[in-house]
A and B are shown apart, each in its own frame.
Chain A
């Protein structure tokens, strides 16, 4: 197999995780433009470093770890600290369902409202909790993979995840009916 073929395989595999990385970047930065820059910077670093990636490594976890390192480096160089600029109002999902034209408006409305509530609840979490929920419950990383990505013991991942879910449960679970929808 030539280097070019390896590169093309890497490019195709790396692109599969673009949406997931963008979601993680948005969770880290809470700013659309910063997330876009972070995604591009992550891929640029990955392209330069993928020769050091072992054949059986988890590409997705490796890309997430790169992204987190890039983001942390950016924060260290940013004297003003993390930029917690909210997403543009016009891009907010709260308004998106009004434009949808499906066959079942009521069902779409309910689904959209649920989605908005869930995302708003995740957004309301402190950054460390939000990050852990994204990595475990959205992206499906194992505890050990998350520990590798964020550079902490697996025990910390477990306890942090438990506390994050407790907060979300309070926000999303209707005590009379179970899970809110």
Chain B
């Protein structure tokens, strides 16, 4: 080599420090005696320096840095085994992940009731005192919005609650139960699951389940109560459970805790009072279900102003 053509071919490799020692020596020997190639190197070096000095984007926003620091902070908590390690060890030593059948049934039943109650509470207004939404409520609304914008595509697309539950089985550090009243009761199919995905929350994964009803999206986000104890918002107590109702960015979000899990339900539905129940359960064959719910709901809202 050592002709100008060879040198020009290797110019980028030289400036990128990708030449072998031998080729580099030969390259530099040629350039020392060739003004044309020397000028070419100067021009190319200026061009690359321009890219390096002015091509870099903005620094990361402070909010993102805080989120990442939260993720890493979890990694430094030596006193608590990471959830992933905990699951792997439990699997190795043979700890069963499933819970007894009676408990699964109870949890599923409560999940149905809770979802309906939450929808019923969503459209009440003017609590005597309301404080700001919890971090989990805000995250849930942001998750709903990002999913709507297409930033959080579903990782599993299915209309089956059972398939969604099974998909989360080895991905989240808790046993997820989803409302199945529509499927179990045989009522008219008014809403359906679109799918689900994992979402990050405080250094671990939370479950995000996308529902749709008449083309209107409803999001259910679930994590452990240890990570996200419900708080803030308009508080309503019913059936021994405490519901927190908030409006964030024009979206309604209800959070509650049950059996170690915290749920958040986000929607833009506008129906009020008992009509909200009928939105999802207008075709329910067991009308006693709605009657019971109504009684409970009114009791629960006794201290609040009717809309």
Question: Do the two shown chains form a genuine complex with each other?
Answer: yes
List chain A residues, Cβ under 8 A from B68: 15, 18, 39-40, 43
Q: Any chain B CB within 8 A of the CB of A8?
A: yes
Q: Quick one: CB contact mask for B133-172 with A, threshold 8 Å, 1 for yes?
A: 0000000000000100111111100000000000000000
Flag if B48 contacts A137 (CB, 8 Å): yes
Distance in Å: Cβ of B15 to nearest Cβ of chain A: 10
- Chain B proximity mask over A47-69: 1 for CB below 8 Å, otherwise 0: 11010000000000000000000
For A15, the chain B residues whose CB sits under 8 A away are 68-69, 72
The answer to whether residues A4 and B151 also contact, given A18-B65, A44-B71 and a CB cut-off of 8 A, is no
On whether the beta carbons of B18 and A142 are closer than 8 Å, the reply is yes
Nearest chain A residue, comparing its CB with the CB of B63: A36
Interface flags for B36-69 (1: CB within 8 Å of A; 0: not) read 0000000100111011101111111101110111
Asked if B60 and A11 make an inter-chain contact with CB atoms under 8 angstroms apart, the answer reads: no
- Of B75-83, B110-118, B233-241, B264-272, the segment with at least 4 beta carbons within 8 Å of chain A is B75-83
B163 CB, min distance to chain A CBs, angstroms: 15
Contact status A179-B43, CB under 8 Å:
yes
A7-B75 Cα distance, complex, nearest whole Å: 6
Given A11-B72, A22-B60, A40-B200: A78 in contact with B55 (beta carbons within 8 A): no
A46 CB → nearest B CB, Å: 8
Contacts of A74 in B (CB 8 A): 153
B51 and A118 contacting across the interface, CB-CB below 8 Å? yes
Interface residues of A in 5-30 (CB under 8 A from B): 7-8, 10-11, 14-15, 18-19, 21-23, 26-27
On chain A, the residues within 8 Å of B71 by CB distance are 40, 43-44, 47
Chain B: interface residue total (CB-CB under 8 A) = 49
Partner of A119, one of B54, B76, B84: B54
Q: Report if B129 contacts A (CB, 8 A).
A: no
Residue of chain A at shortest CB distance from B143: A37
For chain A, residues 101 to 158, give those with C-beta under 8 angstroms from any C-beta of chain B: 114-115, 117-119, 122, 133-134, 136-138, 140, 142-143, 158
**Which chain A positions have C-beta within 8 A of B60?**
18-19, 21-22, 39
Contact yes or no, A8 B84, CB < 8 A: no
Contacts of B84 in A (CB 8 A): 48
Bound together, the chains give a CA A166 to CA B154 distance in angstroms of 38
Q: Does A83 contact B (CB under 8 A)?
A: yes
With A11-B75, A179-B50: A33-B151 Cβ-Cβ less than 8 Å? yes
Q: Within the complex, what minimum Cβ distance (angstroms) separates A61 from chain B? A: 16
CB < 8 Å: which of B50, B57, B65, B82 contacts A27?
Answer: B57
Secondary structure call for the A interface: helix
Q: Which residue of B lies closest to A161 (CB)?
A: B12
CB-nearest residue of chain A relative to B85? A51
Q: Which residues of A contact B (CB under 8 A)?
A: 2-4, 7-8, 10-11, 14-15, 18-19, 21-23, 26-27, 31, 33-34, 36-37, 39-41, 43-44, 47-48, 50, 74, 77-80, 83, 91, 93, 114-115, 117-119, 122, 133-134, 136-138, 140, 142-143, 158, 161-162, 165, 168-169, 172-173, 178-181
| Sampled A-B contacts (22; CB under 8 Å) | A2-B78, A4-B79, A14-B72, A18-B65, A26-B57, A36-B61, A36-B63, A44-B200, A47-B75, A50-B75, A77-B155, A80-B150, A118-B54, A137-B52, A142-B18, A158-B13, A172-B47, A172-B50, A178-B43, A179-B43, A179-B46, A179-B50
B residues whose Cβ falls under 8 Å from a Cβ of A: 12-13, 16-18, 43, 46-48, 50-52, 54-61, 63-65, 67-69, 71-79, 82, 84, 146, 149-155, 197, 200, 203, 205
